[in-house]
Amino acid sequence: MRIVVKVGTTTLAHTTGRLNIRRVEQLCKVLSDLKNAGHEIVLVSSGAIGMGVGKLGLRERPQDMPTKQAAAAVGQCELMYVYDKLFSEYHHTVAQILLTGSDVRDAQRQENFHNTLFRLLELGALPILNENDTVATEEIVIGDNDTLAAIIAVSVRADLLILLSDIDGLYTADPRTDKTARLIPTVSEITPELLALAGGSGSGLGTGGMATKLRAAQTVNASGIDMVIASGADPDILYRIAAGEPAGTRFTGRC
Ligand code: GLU
């Protein structure tokens, strides 16, 4: 299977913005193992801004553009250093691709990164993508990595998109405030009622939320690709998802 995995900032970093070492080590180990088992993996990783915040010792995620871009420049470097180091331990080669909205909207530029991605997969490398936050100003922003991951999943004709998040799936209500909330295991149609269930961003460090995840599901499902939202707290869950076992919420593609 060709699997696109997206990890959010809250999965990779503590609330301080510093790396969650145990989590990231486990994530790289499981992804390496899935690659060894014959799956092709594309990783969409957030965390550049969050980790830059930690490394620069800022108190919170910056609101102004120059500080955000500066934090991303520092954090992206740290992220790739960590990925390179950990994946190398399992003899996997990582490649960094940073994109802006212009790259995914302009047909010519889209073809360029598309060709690079396919070549990297042919070469057995593990592409790691993020938005190019250091140059992405409002006009050319993709905005969030749930959207980027969906675009990439369609672009590489993935079999499956997995969004690892700080929430373990879609619930009937907000589980943080409503004790009666139940996990919805499978969604075969994204109805207006479901969209109404989705709120905004859940954390102080990331930018995505359930609404962007549902839109991502709509995008990939329209191309016949399944999507799973699951908790990133224990990356071992990826084994179960790859094996088609129930975990989190699965949005089924219909093509
Ligand atoms: N590109 C952002 C970062 O690396 C994260 C975007 C997102 O979490 O959706 O910090």
Scored b (16 or more CB within 10 A) or e, 52-70 reads bbbbeebeebbeeeebbbb
The residue whose CB lies within 8 Å of the most ligand 1 atoms, and thus the one to mutate among 78, 133, 146, 167, is 133
Q: Which atom from ligand 1 is nearest to the alpha carbon of 51? A: 10
Question: 151 CA to middle of ligand 1, Å?
Answer: 15
Q: CA–CA separation, 193 vs 198, rounded Å?
A: 9
pLDDT value, residue 201? 45
What is the SS3 string spanning 38-62? CCEEEEEECCHHHHHHHHHCCCCCC
What sign results for the dihedral spanned by CA atoms 108, 114, 120, 122?
negative
Convert the pLDDT of each residue in 113-125 to its tens digit. Answer: 999 999 999 999 9
The residue whose CB lies within 8 Å of the most ligand 1 atoms, and thus the one to mutate among 49, 67, 135, 201, is 49
Convert the pLDDT of each residue in 162-207 to its tens digit. Answer: 999 988 999 888 787 888 989 999 999 988 888 877 764 444 444 4
- pLDDT at residue 69 greater than cutoff 90: yes
Instruction: State the pLDDT confidence band at 255, using cuts at 50, 70 and 90.
Output: low
Q: CA–CA separation, 242 vs 4, rounded Å?
A: 11
Adjacent-strand bridge partners of 7: 45, 164
Q: CA–CA separation, 214 vs 127, rounded Å?
A: 24
Which residue, among 98, 102, 61, has the nearest Cα to 77 in the 3D structure?
98
Domain boundaries, the chain: 2-251
Task: Give the fold, CATH level 3, of 2-251.
Answer: Carbamate kinase (3.40.1160)
Question: 48 CA to middle of ligand 1, Å?
Answer: 6
Q: CA–CA separation, 208 vs 229, rounded Å?
A: 13
